Structure 1
Amino acid sequence: MDELWAVVVDYGGHADDSLLDALIDAGAARVVVVDNALAVASSRTEPRGQGVVEFRSYGANLGFGGAVNRVLARRGARWLLIANPDIEIAPSALRTLLATGERWSRAGIVAPRLEDHAGQPQASVRAFPSLALAALHGALGVVWPSNPASRRYRREVPDPPNAYLAPWVSGALMLARWEALSAIGGFDASYFLYLEDVDLAWRLTRAGWEVVVDPTVRVRHVGGATTRSRRVVAALWHARSLVRYGLAQEDTATGAALVLFGVLARWAVVVVASRRSSADG
């Protein structure tokens, strides 16, 4: 069994050679690029450095979690790096994440500090949202981004100087222990897009695994490469995922109504804004 594989979930060929080279240089024996945009199943493998890069399509859009699960089912390594195509990572950063994971024997996920294109920290480490917080953020976040609920939701857990336990981390880049992900069945593929990382961390911690952040590792994340031009559709995906997550946390009529209010209000605002923008154009 290999030490490390990587999976890059792509949509339309955004993963470039610099990312693939960095993953191979860091020690990944195999990098699997899954392109969810292709309607025809295909697979080709090319040698690169000390490893191989595999370009694969399953002939359908499996969503983020569904694509990762296909690779996870192959049980190829001890660790699986999961990445978006819009990530910039140095080989040394990945090797440090691996070393941190080895030190934390119950680490199911090890994550870095994510930064934007300007080097500013992104809110990639957060607490689990309550139902009320999720609903208010969903309803108000589009029309009033600085509302108290959204500010609280986006509040990042302060970084201590060394690796620490966190509630959940962004799925834009995470190093996962293959054993841990397999033990809980991988991602819940019913989260087609958004909140699959929240749900994953929630289920891992319930199963006795840990989510660890190493703030000494800095990784750049451009963000939004596959959804920036699909705002209304992305809002619908977000709404569906939020309903799914909310119902998983509290299976009551009140909880369902609260979540539905927030996400439907958010989606309605996005649709109206999009139509107005199209009319003005």
Structure 2
Amino acid sequence: MTKLPSVSVVILNWNGLNYLQQFLPSVFASTYPNLRIIVGDNASTDSSVEFIRANYPQIEVITNDNNYGFAGGYNKVLDQIDSDYFILLNSDVEVQPQWIQPVIDLMESDAQIATAQPKILSYKEKDKFEHAGAAGGFLDMFGYPFCRGRIFDSVESDNGQYDDVKEIFWASGAALFIKRDKWIEVGGLDADFFAHMEEIDLCWRLKNNGYKVIYCPDSVVYHVGGGTLDSENPFKTYLNFRNNLFLIQKNLSFFHASIIIFIRLWLDLVSLLKFLYDGRPKHARAINKAHTAFLKAIFKTGKKASKISTARFNGTALVNKSIVWQYFVQKKKTFNSL
């Protein structure tokens, strides 16, 4: 009998006691046989660690000495884990008992599959997709991420329209499956992102090496979303706008990136003006702050880009259209209408 690959579910926590109390029971009930469940703690100041040790002694705890964000925190924790597969799972995700096996079976079927995600539905409205990942991530010609099941703020109901296995561009960090050797090959997450879009950068680097990213509809999880930063927090706006520019500079050729970034800066200006028009000046300032931070880091980011070869780039799910034009001008609100 073939031995099942070893799998570690790793939940990164920072002051998330309420979510651990609510969602750890479903993760603990996972039926995959060769499984470790690990909570990596980013120096929480609540009683998260004490709660786990008192109530779930079978769950391992790895503590960081500081809050290193999503990216840096996971890097430090996963450096200490030896499994065939890692599952990066947000603390605000409810899973079903058999959620792991279908994804592992799919990834084992093809050596070129490096990472994957399940179907991600909303915990609050379980007949709808969830914003962060939905039925798999795509990228448009100007570097805007979107999903099957979610374009900007338009989220579709799940009517089985995306129940096919699909090669995608990026897998959501809310529930990201990755082969450990591929994680090591590309150096894990980029800690400079801190949080937001770091999983898109990870997947893009894997695709630059020719690997596949896959969506598995036979596994379903339910995500609350916005557990650490909600959409009304200007810091989230800052991270999204800054990191999207990092993403483009790092993963495209210098010439191509320069053109796209020039266009994006003008499109970002439109977003800034829209925030001002909507009476949200803190978010407008966050965009300006994001551009300043990007420019300050431009040489550091450029050094990372110089290390990336795109000779084997797998461009599947990179959409040669402007999602901004499709959505706001042509009023196409669903993935299948694009």
Displacement of 1:98 in angstroms is: 1.7
Distance in 2 separating the partners of 1:187 and 1:153: 27
Distance 1:267 1:56, change over 3 A: farther
- 2:25 alignment partner in structure 1: 18
Contact kept, 8 Å, 1:243 with 1:263, in 2: the verdict is no
Q: Normalising by structure 1, report the TM-score.
A: 0.76
Given candidates 94, 105, 125, the residue that maps to 2:100 is 94
* Amino acid across the alignment from 1:121: F
Distance 1:86 1:151, change over 3 A: closer
Distance in 2 separating the partners of 1:38 and 1:47: 16
- 1:143 alignment partner in structure 2: none
* Amino acid across the alignment from 1:130: M
- 1:216 alignment partner in structure 2: 218
Given candidates 5, 8, 27, the residue that maps to 1:5 is 8
Given candidates 122, 134, 137, the residue that maps to 2:144 is 134
- 2:76 alignment partner in structure 1: 70
Distance 1:30 1:250, change over 3 A: same
* Amino acid across the alignment from 1:251: F
Moved more, 55-64 or 253-262: 253-262
Distance in 1 separating the partners of 2:270 and 2:43: 29
Secondary structure class of the residue paired with 1:171: coil
Q: How many residues align?
A: 259
Matches within 5 A, 1:1-281: 3-13=6-16, 14-16=19-21, 17-23=24-30, 25-27=31-33, 29-36=35-42, 38=44, 46=53, 52-117=58-123, 118-119=125-126, 120-122=128-130, 123-131=134-142, 134=144, 150=152, 161-228=163-230, 231-248=233-250, 249=252, 251-252=254-255, 253-263=258-268, 266=271, 272-273=279-280
* Amino acid across the alignment from 1:129: D
Distance 1:159 1:203, change over 3 A: farther
Distance 1:166 1:10, change over 3 A: same
Q: Normalising by structure 2, report the TM-score.
A: 0.65
Distance 1:159 1:72, change over 3 A: farther
Moved more, 87-96 or 10-19: 10-19
Distance 1:152 1:224, change over 3 A: closer
Distance 1:31 1:109, change over 3 A: same
Distance 1:243 1:162, change over 3 A: closer
- 2:309 alignment partner in structure 1: none
Distance in 2 separating the partners of 1:77 and 1:48: 24
Distance 1:188 1:87, change over 3 A: same
* Post-superposition CA distance 1:85-111 (Å, at most 9, x none): 111111211122222222222211121
Displacement of 1:81 in angstroms is: 0.8
5+ residue gaps in structure 1?
Answer: 138-145, 277-281
* Amino acid across the alignment from 2:118: P
Distance in 2 separating the partners of 1:5 and 1:47: 21
Richer in strand (by share): 1
Taking only the aligned residue pairs, the percentage that are identical comes to 20
* Amino acid across the alignment from 2:179: R
* Amino acid across the alignment from 2:136: V
Secondary structure class of the residue paired with 1:52: coil
Distance in 1 separating the partners of 2:54 and 2:35: 10
Secondary structure class of the residue paired with 1:74: coil
Distance 1:238 1:152, change over 3 A: same
* Amino acid across the alignment from 1:78: D
* Amino acid across the alignment from 2:102: T
Displacement of 1:265 in angstroms is: 5.2
Distance 1:261 1:9, change over 3 A: farther
* Amino acid across the alignment from 2:227: A
Displacement of 1:47 in angstroms is: 9.6
Secondary structure class of the residue paired with 1:9: strand
Contact kept, 8 Å, 2:9 with 2:88, in 1: the verdict is yes
5+ residue gaps in structure 2?
Answer: 284-338
Secondary structure class of the residue paired with 1:211: strand
